Structure 1
Amino acid sequence: MASFKETLQTLGEVVSERFESLSAKLKQRLHYDEPIQIVPYASYGNQQRIKISGRALEDKGIEQRKDEESLWQNLAQAYQRFESDEIPNLQLKLHFQGQSLEVLTNQEGYFEASLPVSDLTAGGLWYDYQVEVPAQERLSAPCQAVTGKVQIPCPQCDFGIISDIDDTIMVTNATSTLSMMRLTFLRSPASRLPFAGVNTFYQALTQSGAVPRPIFYVSSSPWNLYDFLEEFMELNHIPLGTLFLRDFGLHTLKASHHDHKSTYIHQIMDTYPQLSFILIGDSGQHDPEVYSEIVTQRPQQVKAIYIRDVSTKESRDSEILRLAEQTREHHIDLCLVKTTSEAATHAVERGYIPASVLDQLKTAQEPPHAEQTRVESIINA
């Protein structure tokens, strides 16, 4: 028998879906007067096919790259991101390497398509694709085509990287719900902090091979934060990669952090069965458990695991060290590290990156923490 919580979630999903459906039908009858924003996600593929995805939304006019924004501006933009107005059943036309494919967005405004690959540049990694919005009766104004990126690793690539985001590359304090919400809603991408040396380490991992190595970011953050995370990475010179996030809605309450990450990691590894990966995460949630489980299931596709120690509990460290013993049975190191330099040292020892990276990391320092606003101080009190 379903629990009260499960019944309530199911009821909430039905009500939410009915409301969104009615709202979409009403807008379709009245035509869309708001500007449309097509968000092409950084996508991925192999030598045979690519998988393109993105989303169609009403343009909220969220401006980028404001280094000095007020708390209220940040809060307003956070609200606009989470109160997104999706555009369902919108006709789109995708273009890649002279091929075209027509698709419709789903009820949440997402689109997804697969296209064959024909002509690739030797030694290349990133390629362009275009998303066009054909003229259609429901639109009251034209919409310009946009260009997205898709990464296709070369056959000569030696390995890839799969990384978490929160508390792995970006200081989030995900173990504290209140602190995490404060940082998410009251800070801009320019004021969010990366961990020291992350950009140097990740650049070395992706660029130190004979050909560029692909990187994938698998996070439990919602898709509504895609532009936020993309801008944060660009501002902090963290390599572009394909993001795998979660849909924001009542139905996602049923999906666990563990299942979400595991599903996407398997999907990535299925796409590149001949490629092995370095897995990077943190000790705050379930990354060590997810990654060690992947090692048990697909040891040939894991080179090493780096876990940033963000937990203050000794019992948590002991749990992770026990998992490290299990992965060592498969001759795979799970390294619990306090700093980026510790992970880089192991990577140098294994020949994944050059030793010169360690000299660069010696000068890497944690960026100065932005002063708390009055409202943030009250929240933290």
Structure 2
Amino acid sequence: MSKRPFIAARWELFVDRRVERLFRLLGWQERVIPYTAYGDDTFVRVLGRVVLSPTFDDTQLGKAAEEFLRRRGWRNFLTTPCVHARYEIHLGDTVVTGTSDRGGYIDHRVRDHDLAPGWRDGTVETTSSEPVGFEAQIVDADQRFGVVSDIDDTILTTMVPRLFISAWNSFFRREEARQAVPGMAVFLDDVLARRPGAPVFYLSTGAWNTHGFLTRFMRRHRYPRGAMLLTDWGPTNTGWFRSGPEHKRGALLQLSIDYPHISWLLVGDDGQHDPDIYGDFAASHPDHVTAIAIRQLTPAEQFLAHGTMEPLEVSSEHPRDIPVFRAPDGRGLRRVLDRYLSRN
């Protein structure tokens, strides 16, 4: 069997290299887009992307135009990645270097750092870009609880994945028009207030291009800050598109490896595959799941999500001693989980 990447991945690399070469000739400069990092006392996973941007972006007028345009959804998806760009990460007294992947993405694990638990700052830069700061959540080694929350239709109403509505929400609607699910921010805040220092991760099949929008959305609606685990919508080394469910399964498995002593509250919705994905993870890793909280979509949301008025049938079976709580919004989930979390 050939070990060469899938033809679509090779074609994407071919196109990206030539587009990058063109824009460099036009004077565009390298810029790093940092994402939220996370880790513990043994590692920090630094995430980001190296892209090209016109020098116009560095002026006050350019920054104002960029701020205005990126609030239109389509602007989040127009980027020019830097293929295999060299970068340098500064984290405390630790300095490491690396190379971005064929999509310009940075995914670097920094070892032997000197950071104490809590939120810490770092910087990342390329050989020709300015340093940009990023935040890193360092989880205490004694922490035993954490939260993993879905994004689409769990904390943010998107009506994914019906193509037309998803495209309209993602590409054309203004950021300010996007709606939060009632009570979810308060629910997550209440859960984390009971477990000081516990991390929260936001897990989604959405593209990394939306990271800036999601960060601003969560800040505006007062969601607890935490690292996001998103994906790239482009081709993989084995196929045309990435599998959303497999991305979530892989991210949960990675968290169980990164934090072997943490048991997670898994938060999602019943509009797509969350109950199956969480159920399978609970069955295979029962020591890593405290409980499952599922937001129940309305019949209209169910229809827009998958074409029927009822939730999808759940095929997985999770351990009976791991409770599953269901409610239509954050206020309901907070109410049904209150007694359980108080006891545990």
Alignment equivalent of 2:15, drawn from 19, 23, 34: 19
Distance 2:113 2:158 in 1: 41
User: 2:100 aligns to what?
Assistant: 105
User: 2:305 aligns to what?
Assistant: none
Aligned-residue offset at 1:117: 4.1
Deviations 1:98-136 (A, max 9, x none): 011111222211122221244343xx421111113334x
Alignment equivalent of 1:52, drawn from 46, 66, 77: 46
Distance 2:183 2:282 in 1: 27
* Residue type at the aligned position of 1:342: G
2:139 is aligned with 1:153:
yes
Change (3 A) 1:94 1:352: farther
User: 1:369 aligns to what?
Assistant: none
Alignment equivalent of 2:250, drawn from 263, 266, 278: 263
Aligned-residue offset at 1:91: 2.2
Aligned-residue offset at 1:311: 5.5
Aligned-residue offset at 1:206: 2.3
Aligned-residue offset at 1:81: 2.3
Superposition map of 1:22-101 within 5 A: 22-27=18-23, 30=25, 33-59=27-53, 61=57, 77-101=72-96
Deviations 1:227-277 (A, max 9, x none): 111111111111111111111214474432211100011101110001100
Superposition map of 1:136-285 within 5 A: 143-209=129-195, 211-251=196-236, 253-285=240-272
More displaced stretch, 81-90 vs 221-230: 81-90
Aligned-residue offset at 1:20: 1.6
SS at match of 1:24: helix
Unaligned runs of 5+ in 1: 1-8, 136-142, 355-381
Question: Is the 1:327–1:334 contact (alpha carbons within 8 Å) kept by the matching residues of 2?
Answer: no
Change (3 A) 1:23 1:180: closer
SS at match of 1:170: coil
TM-score computed with the length of structure 2 as normaliser? 0.85
Distance 1:353 1:38 in 2: 45
User: 1:133 aligns to what?
Assistant: 126
Change (3 A) 1:298 1:42: same
Change (3 A) 1:315 1:19: closer
Question: Is the 1:304–1:332 contact (alpha carbons within 8 Å) kept by the matching residues of 2?
Answer: yes
Question: Is the 1:328–1:334 contact (alpha carbons within 8 Å) kept by the matching residues of 2?
Answer: no
Unaligned runs of 5+ in 2: 303-307
Alignment equivalent of 2:333, drawn from 340, 343, 347: 343
Deviations 1:4-51 (A, max 9, x none): xxxxx95444333212223334555x3x72243311110111221111
Structure label with greater radius of gyration: 1
Deviations 1:142-164 (A, max 9, x none): x3211111112113323000011
Change (3 A) 1:253 1:328: same
Aligned-residue offset at 1:199: 1.4
Distance 2:215 2:107 in 1: 19
Alignment equivalent of 1:292, drawn from 263, 279, 300: 279
Distance 1:188 1:16 in 2: 29
Deviations 1:58-92 (A, max 9, x none): 2375968999x7xxx578x4333222111123221
Distance 2:225 2:245 in 1: 24
More displaced stretch, 294-303 vs 35-44: 35-44
TM-score computed with the length of structure 1 as normaliser? 0.77
Distance 2:11 2:153 in 1: 35
Distance 2:150 2:11 in 1: 33
Question: Is the 1:223–1:246 contact (alpha carbons within 8 Å) kept by the matching residues of 2?
Answer: yes
SS at match of 2:51: strand
Distance 2:130 2:70 in 1: 28
Alignment equivalent of 1:327, drawn from 310, 318, 326: 318
| Dislocated runs of 4+, deviation >6 Å | 62-67
